[in-house]
A = this chain, B = another copy of it.
Amino acid sequence: MKITNILGTNDFIESLRGKKANFILALCNAKTYEIQGITQAGIPSKIHLTPTLDSEFVCTGQIRSLKNIATTPKGVPSPALITRAVHILKPFSSIELLNLGLEVLPKIEYFKIHDFDLQASKAINTNAEIKAFEVFQKALDFGKNYEACASEDKYIILAESVPSGTTSAKASALALDYEVKNLFSSSFKEEKNDIKNQTIKEALKHINKDMDIFEKLSCVSDNMLIFYAGFILGLSSKEHKIILAGGTQMACVLLIINSIMNTMQGEFNSKNIALCTTKWILEDKNSDIKKLLEMCDFKINAYASDFDFSNSTHKALKMYDEGEAKEGVGAGASLCYATINNIKQKDIIEQIESFLSL
């Protein structure tokens, strides 16, 4: 497997060879997922369970809060399978969960689940009503006090499972005046109807120019985006190396940080951060991860794994290569982590196929 540089050189990712990774998975529900046709990240009528099931599967290899793993209506299995496969082949040094407003808690013991007393946010077309500054402040404090990888031989992977998350990400970027019209990804191959853009249009009606950043985000964003912006700023006071595990949603986290820094006229040291994603995001014709990242005033290293399912015979997995699912649950970063730990594509595919034959 190879890693493609989207932006920057390969030095950052190479410097992490031989080091240990703490895998942090942010989980939240934003009721935007209830809008008919907005996402295909999960089982219809059970989409609120997607982050719960994803976290159960990554940690234990089992789905406990439902009989079968979250699949899209077309039957594409969750990218959680990719992350779990990598964890089996080369375990992360720990997996920690962030409960950023789950409707159903995962049935997991022994793994750290950090709780921040946050609720699932409302749908963005009716005003999400997030206490954005409070979420940001909690995250900032959490980042400043986060000690688990104070040592030099560790880095942190920040992943997410947020159904309808690309919708709130695009709305957030637009609310903060970035021109991102055709730059955001989706869980669909093609967005056949305009439900997503219609939802975003309605969402943006709730904001106005007099609002500050956090007031705007309160209306149109989700807890994960705001939390990770705060968490990263909190962490950046130390020398933690961070991988943002995802595609356009994680790019939005960086755009939020960029807006905050511009408003505060602060300096953000982006040297210790990189974004890692999948080939499916990098090659997506309906979004542009590179352009999104270039909108930041700071430089950022970004990478994509070249992993795909071309050597798999499993139909459901092939659909990833057709663009029906692209990223999530830290799949892209897990694949980059696998690469710098010399895990073979063949072994990952075999491991994932073994999950589906259970």
Interface residues of A (CB under 8 A from B): 9-12, 14-15, 17-20, 59-62, 87-94, 108-111, 148, 152-153, 340-342
Contacts and interface: CB of A to CB of B under 8 A. Distances in A.
Contacts of A94: 18-19, 152-153
Please state the number of chain copies in the assembly. 2
Nearest to A111: B15
Contacts of A10: 60-62
A249 to B, nearest CB: 25
B60 A110 contact: no
A11 B93 contact: no
B109 A11 contact: yes
B11 A108 contact: yes
B59 A93 contact: no
Contacts of A18: 20, 87, 91-94
Contact residues of A: prevailing secondary structure: loop
Given A93-B153, A153-B93, A111 B11 contact: yes
A123 B148 CA distance: 50
5 contacts: A9-B109, A11-B110, A14-B110, A18-B87, A148-B152
A62 B11 CA distance: 10
Nearest to A19: B93
Nearest to A56: B11
Contacts of A110: 11-12, 14-15
Nearest to A89: B342
A148 B92 CA distance: 21
A257 to B, nearest CB: 21
